[in-house]
Every structure is written in C-alpha cells, then in structure tokens.
C-alpha cells in the first residue's frame, strides 16, 4: 500500500524550504543512500521525514536551506529525475487547492508577472490519464491565486509547473483517486542522461560481467569519488567502475588476474562479434569518454596478494565487484599441493598455478587490503552476493577499521540478490589486532556457490546483449 508523505518535520533551519524530489523508478533501495553520500560529499544539508519514508514511492518531500543545495545534489545523482520547489500538497484536489490558496503572495508573485512565460504539466504515477482529463485537472487548479499574467509556453517556458498525482505502486490495481497530489515549480534535472552517455552498448571494450553505467555511477557516488580522488578497483575486469570514477574526476587504476581479458584478447562478449578489436582496453574506454588523462594503469595481479603494494594509505576510494565464481573465474595464485617446487631455470618463464578463491577469503582479503591502503575517511564500496531467503545482516563482513555506511539490496530474481556495501575507514590499521571477520560457514564452501548458481539461473542479462 502506498503511504502518504505528509507529516511534520523539524526544519533543517528556519529559512528552509520544502522541495519535491522525483526519483527514477529503479534501484529504489539505493536512492536515499546515494543522496546521503552526495550530501556528505558536497556538504549540502537535507532533511526528510524518516518515519514516513516509503522507499517505493518515487516522490519525496525534502527540506533544504536553499536552491544551491538542490543543485549540488542534482549535480551528481543518477537516481534523481528532477527536483521541484514544492508549492503545495494534499490528499485530494480540494486539499491541494486550499493549500495553494494559503501560499504567501510574496512567494508566488515573482512567477505571475507578465514577463514570465509559464507552462503547466500533469503527471501521474502508476495510472495512465488521457490528455483531455489532464487538461480538466489543470483547469481545476485555483487560478484565482495562480493568476499568471505571462504567456503560456509549453516547450520552453521560463517557469514550468507540475501537478503530480501519486496512485501508489501496486501496478495491477491503481485506485480510482490518487493517494497524494503535489504541485510545484520545476528547478532542474539530475544526471540520468549520463547513464546513456556511458552506456555499455556503445562502449568500446566490454565483457560478460561489465557493470552497467547506472550502477557504476551510483557506486562512484557512494564512494564519494571526486576531482583528483585516487581510486582502485582490485577486480577491474573491463574497467566499468573506473569509467564512472574517472567521469567524477578520479584518477583510476586496477588489478586483474585474467591476462587475456585485461589485454583485450579474450573471447568477445558482444553478440555476433567474432574477434576482439586490437585496441580494446580500459585506457581506450576512458579515452572514448574524454577521461583518458585520468587513467593511471591496470596491471595483471592477484588481489589475494597484498605484498606488491608499499605500505601507504594511498587510496581515497576502493570500488569493486568481486568475482563470485559464477559468471567469471574466482581464482588466486596458489599450488594445489604443498610439494609444488619451481626449479630455478624455469622461474622467469613460469606461469603460476591457480587455485579456487573461496568467497569468504575474497571478502576477508578485500577488507584487510582496504583497511591498510585506504586513507582515513576513505570509502570501500563492493558487491556482496546473497541468497535472499538465507540472508542475515550478520553475513556482511566486518572490520574494526570500518564503519558500515549503507547496505542496499539489488534483487536479481526472486531467490538471489546482491547487496551493495559501503564502508568508511574510521580507524587506522593496526597489524596486531586487525582482521576482517567473515561469516565463514555461510560463504566458505562450494554449496553457497552451487545454490547461488542454481537459484540465480535467471540472472538479468547485462546491457551488452539487449
């Protein structure tokens, strides 16, 4: 059932105004987490009524000190469609119109002047409304107060007003009347267009597990990547996460175990493509988007081994999608037997053996690595696979150096999901006492992988094959 967004909020400040945030209807579990991350990055303040927060409702009334703060949030969010200055809301047309009538004249009069062109639109959520009915709804607005003197301009008005009707999210049976109505002035849109700009379908180098552009941008937001951040993806694959981080101004680098993939020599993943082009690489991807200068390097390396790094707290952010061993190999360098000895004469040309990389070890190594190499206040953002019916919050790995900031689920089907975990480094790494704790029993063995694989058979295809 839909919930009303009405309710009393403590204002962020005395002069705060109410704004209507209109979110995209996807990844709804992530929207507040993304907003909070951007707010802490851009030092903008906002306040919502947490008690009445309904994550499935794409509309959210937010209090902010000024429109500047709105623009800061919009400058990064990929989940926000648009923000409106909220003029009035109500559960019925009558209540909405009464509230419009209460608006102080000094608040609305600048928009009513003859030199201000205007347009009014009606948008309904979860119910199709024919144009003639929409026109009726516009006519029902209280034009005795909304006494616009300017010209009507439906395409390029100086001020565009929106009447929103919210019919809940139960698609099968929308109610006859909306649960809630909002009326407001459009301020600006978010960064949804960047999803198309960086879309995998048009990207030069992609693989089977390339992360789609929208989620990559969300991860980079959660990690608070900004101009000149130093960002690492230790399981870099085709570098989708680096594309997003470089888009946000980060200097990016990665490590990857698969030599062929990293060198663009593996099997192509594009439908009907027989051979990879000779210049398929992460660098080429960044150049495609004009961020080539942000690319440091990607090296062939095993993320289970940390001794190739000097012990410094280099990174501002670590963002990654570790291998679950289902659509990609999860291996590490190692020998199946203890008696494996490499003779001196073959040492230089020897290709090391690889062994299965246990899921629990992947996450333990990742947290231990991040605890050592992230700067204080830096963020670690990674995906974590779960079987939905078994999931407990205690399954999420922990580390004394990290505070959990967000834990958002992306369902992959009715049985399996992955969770985007965001952690912030709050304490220096101490060799003696610090080790990640991982729910070994849950993730250690083959059986998790097998169950995850069988239950996850209907994985959504990535964007590459659509």
Ligand X SMILES: C[S@@+](CC[C@H](N)C(=O)[O-])C[C@H]1O[C@@H](n2cnc3c(N)ncnc32)[C@H](O)[C@@H]1O
- Taking CB under 6 A as the binding criterion, the range among 103-111, 172-180, 233-241, 452-460 that sits at the site for ligand X is 233-241
- Per-residue tokens: 68: 């500047």
Helix axes 213-222, 31-42, angle to 10 degrees: 50
- Taking CB under 6 A as the binding criterion, the range among 6-14, 60-68, 328-336, 450-458 that sits at the site for ligand X is 328-336
Interface of this chain with ligand X, residues 198 to 217, rule: CB under 6 A: 207, 209-211
**Among residues 178 and 207, whose Cβ is nearest to ligand X?**
207
The pattern of x and - marking residues 234 through 253 that bind ligand X according to CB under 6 A reads: -x-xx-xx------------
| Residue spans of beta strands (DSSP E) within 28-170 | 59-64, 80-90, 118-125, 159-166
Helices (H) and strands (E) in the chain, counts: 13, 15
Interface of this chain with ligand X, residues 174 to 203, rule: CB under 6 A: none
Q: How far is the CB of 418 from ligand X (least distance, A)?
A: 10
Classify residue 363 as exposed, middle or buried by CB count within 10 Å of its CB (0-12, 13-18, 19+). Answer: buried
The pattern of x and - marking residues 351 through 380 that bind ligand X according to CB under 6 A reads: ------x-----------------------
One residue of 290, 311, 329, 460 binding ligand X per CB under 6 A:
329
Sheet containing 180-189, strands listed edge to edge, beginning at the edge strand earlier in sequence: 59-64, 17-23, 80-90, 180-189, 159-166, 118-125
**Of 94, 70, 86, the residue nearest 182 (C-alpha):** 86
Distance of CA 386 to the CA centre of its chain: 18
Residues forming beta bridges with residue 21, ordered by sequence position = 60, 83
Query: Rounded to an integer, what distance in angstroms lies between the CA atom of residue 266 and that of residue 362?
Result: 23
Sheet containing 295-300, strands listed edge to edge, beginning at the edge strand earlier in sequence: 295-300, 251-256, 230-233, 315-320, 374-387, 416-425, 402-411
Contact between 221 and ligand X (CB under 6 A)? no
One residue of 124, 126, 159, 304 binding ligand X per CB under 6 A:
304
- Taking CB under 6 A as the binding criterion, the range among 76-84, 325-333, 368-376, 408-416 that sits at the site for ligand X is 325-333
One residue of 32, 257, 374, 423 binding ligand X per CB under 6 A:
257
Alpha helices in 237-389 (DSSP H): 240-247, 259-262, 282-288, 359-373
One residue of 321, 368, 384, 418 binding ligand X per CB under 6 A:
321
Query: Rounded to an integer, what distance in angstroms lies between the CA atom of residue 224 and that of residue 423?
Result: 11
Contact between 264 and ligand X (CB under 6 A)? no
Q: Please, what's the b/e burial string for 447-456 (b: 16 or more CB within 10 A of its CB; e: otherwise)?
A: ebbeebeebb
DSSP state for residue 461 in the 8-state scheme: P
**Among residues 108 and 326, whose Cβ is nearest to ligand X?**
326
Q: How far is the CB of 283 from ligand X (least distance, A)?
A: 14
Contact between 332 and ligand X (CB under 6 A)? yes
**Among residues 30 and 186, whose Cβ is nearest to ligand X?**
30
**Among residues 16 and 200, whose Cβ is nearest to ligand X?**
200
The pattern of x and - marking residues 19 through 58 that bind ligand X according to CB under 6 A reads: ----------------------------------------
One residue of 85, 165, 280, 302 binding ligand X per CB under 6 A:
302
Residues that bind ligand X (CB under 6 A): 207, 209-211, 235, 237-238, 240-241, 255-258, 261, 302-304, 321, 323, 328-332, 357
């Amino acid at each position: 059932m839909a919930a009303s967004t009405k309710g009393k909020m403590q204002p962020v400040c005395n002069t705060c105004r109410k704004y209507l945030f209109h979110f995209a209807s996807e990844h709804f579990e992530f929207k507040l987490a993304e907003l909070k991350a951007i707010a802490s990055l851009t030092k903008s303040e906002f306040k919502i009524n947490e008690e009445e927060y309904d994550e499935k409702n794409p509309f959210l009334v937010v209090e902010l000190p000024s429109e500047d703060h709105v623009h800061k949030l919009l400058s990064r969010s990929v989940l926000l469609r648009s923000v409106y200055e909220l003029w009035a809301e109500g559960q019925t047309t009558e209540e909405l119109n009464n509230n419009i009538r209460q608006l102080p004249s000094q608040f609305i009069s600048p928009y009513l002047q003859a030199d201000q062109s205007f347009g009014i639109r009606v948008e309904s959520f979860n119910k199709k409304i024919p144009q003639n009915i929409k026109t009726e709804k516009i006519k029902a607005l209280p034009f005795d107060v909304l006494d616009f003197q300017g010209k009507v301009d439906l395409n390029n008005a100086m001020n565009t007003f929106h009447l929103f009707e919210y019919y809940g999210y139960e698609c099968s049976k929308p109610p006859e009347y909306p649960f809630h109505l909002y009326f407001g002035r459009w301020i600006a849109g978010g960064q949804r267009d960047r999803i198309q700009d960086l879309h995998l379908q048009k990207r030069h180098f992609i693989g089977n597990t390339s992360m789609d552009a929208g989620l990559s941008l969300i991860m980079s937001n959660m990690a608070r990547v900004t101009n000149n951040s130093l960002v690492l993806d230790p399981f870099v694959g085709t570098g989708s996460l680096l594309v997003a981080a470089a888009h946000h101004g980060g200097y990016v680098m990665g490590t990857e175990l698969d030599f062929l993939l990293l060198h663009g020599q593996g099997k192509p993943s594009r439908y009907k493509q027989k051979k990879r082009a000779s210049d398929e690489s992460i660098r080429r991807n960044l150049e495609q988007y004009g961020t080539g200068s942000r690319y440091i390097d990607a090296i062939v390396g095993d993320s289970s081994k940390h001794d190739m790094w000097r012990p410094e707290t280099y990174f501002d952010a670590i963002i990654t999608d570790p291998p679950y061993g289902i659509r990609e190999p999860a291996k590490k360098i190692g020998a199946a037997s203890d008696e494996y000895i490499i003779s001196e004469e073959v040492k230089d040309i020897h290709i090391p053996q690889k062994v299965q990389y246990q899921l629990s070890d992947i996450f333990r190594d990742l947290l231990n690595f991040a605890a050592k190499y992230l700067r204080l206040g830096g963020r670690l953002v990674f995906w974590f696979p779960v079987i939905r019916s078994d999931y407990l919050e205690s399954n999420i790995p922990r580390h004394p150096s990290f505070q959990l900031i967000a834990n958002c689920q992306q369902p992959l089907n009715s049985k399996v999901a992955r969770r985007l975990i965001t952690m912030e480094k709050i304490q220096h790494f101490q060799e003696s006492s610090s080790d990640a704790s991982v729910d070994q029993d849950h993730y250690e063995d083959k059986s998790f992988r097998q169950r995850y694989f069988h239950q996850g058979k209907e994985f959504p295809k990535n964007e590459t094959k659509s």
